Amino acid sequence: MRTIHELLSAAKEAGVTLGEIALRWQMKESGETEAQLKARMQRRLEVMRLSVQDGLSPELRSASGKVGGQSSLMVGENNRFGILGKAGAYALAVAESNACMGKIVAAPTAGSCGILPGALFSAQEQSGFTDDELVMALFASAAIGRSIALQASVSGAEGGCQAECGSAAGMAAAALCQLYGGSNEAVCDACAFALMNMLGLVCDPVHGLVEIPCIYRNVGGVSQALAAAQMALAGVRCPIPCDEVICAMKAVGDAMPSGLRETGEGGCAACRSMA
């Protein structure tokens, strides 16, 4: 199953969610049992949870001294903005943990590692989802991410940050939509909306480090995921099929100047104060 359309068709034929069809596909490909695959995904979920806790430490600092301890500043403010505030704080925490050499799950990359856990754990706290439900949402998001990687890219060096934080936002939007009971079509619309709204985002790491502006873009990415999921769950249909948005992202990435694709030569990396 290479495309989103193929995922949808397979899920429709089987009468199951995208997460379930992804799990069945993985069982067939790997020869592992459902229990084995779910246990492995649960372990990844635990790493995500621990990276949130690690990143929220106010004492955390990166080797450069430029980031760390900032997500802890958002914790006291997160109730002001509800689930969005929590999601942003947790996304920043994981991104800071990564910048400080903590253990994270690349979802789909290290530079975008905070978006999916930020979405999942804020939703769990808000709505009481079980870990089992989060695990199945992770299978759905993994299937979406695989399709993006196969049709376009999840590499900032190839496609800009739209390929990293954009893809992560699409994966998180899909996961949220499945968690909240959206149809398979809505799950794919949520992904498409997130990708559409992140289209053209450049990769411009200051001093070549995955710190500035990378960690802050995780907050922006999880915000886009929540907005995209909300639209799709409300019944707003994306006018462009998800596969076409993915292909548009590839075309935009291919057209980007090299200075805006992880070289540290343009964008925020070229700002005078960052010299």
Residue 79 has pLDDT above 80, yes or no: no
Q: Classify each residue of 160-185 as buried b or exposed e, where b means 16 or more C-beta atoms within 10 Å of its C-beta.
A: bbbbbbbbbbbbbbbbbbbbbebbbb
Residue 194 has pLDDT above 80, yes or no: yes
The pLDDT tens digits for 101-121 are: 999 999 999 999 999 999 999
Please report where in the chains the tokens 């704080």 appear, as a residue. Answer: 89
- pLDDT of amino acid 76: 72
- pLDDT of amino acid 78: 58
Identify the band that residue 77 occupies on the pLDDT scale cut at 50, 70 and 90: low
Residue 186's nearest CA partner among 234, 129, 248 is: 234
Residue 275 has pLDDT above 90, yes or no: no
Calpha distance 120→47 (Å, rounded): 13
Identify the band that residue 1 occupies on the pLDDT scale cut at 50, 70 and 90: confident
Q: What is the third-level CATH fold of 4-267?
A: 2-methylcitrate dehydratase PrpD (1.10.4100)
Cβ neighbour number for residue 12 with a 10 Å cutoff: 12
Sketch the domain layout of the chain as residue ranges.
4-267
Residue 167 has pLDDT above 90, yes or no: yes
- Is residue 265 helix, strand or coil? coil
The pLDDT tens digits for 228-248 are: 999 999 999 999 999 999 999
pTM: 0.97
What average pLDDT is seen over the chain?
Answer: 97
Give the mean model confidence (pLDDT) for residues 153-159. 98
The pLDDT tens digits for 5-64 are: 999 999 999 999 999 999 999 999 999 999 999 999 999 999 999 999 999 999 999 999
Q: Which secondary structure element, helix H or strand E, spans residue 188, and what is its range?
A: helix 184-198
Residue 4 has pLDDT above 90, yes or no: yes
- Here the tokens at position 167 are 């893809």
Calpha distance 28→219 (Å, rounded): 36
The DSSP string of 87-148 is: HHHHHHHHHHHHHTT-----SS-GGGTTHHHHHHHHHHHHH---HHHHHHHHHHHHHHHHHH
- Is residue 30 helix, strand or coil? helix
Give the mean model confidence (pLDDT) for residues 218-223. 98
What is the percent of the chain where pLDDT is above 90? 97
- pLDDT of amino acid 75: 87
- pLDDT of amino acid 216: 98
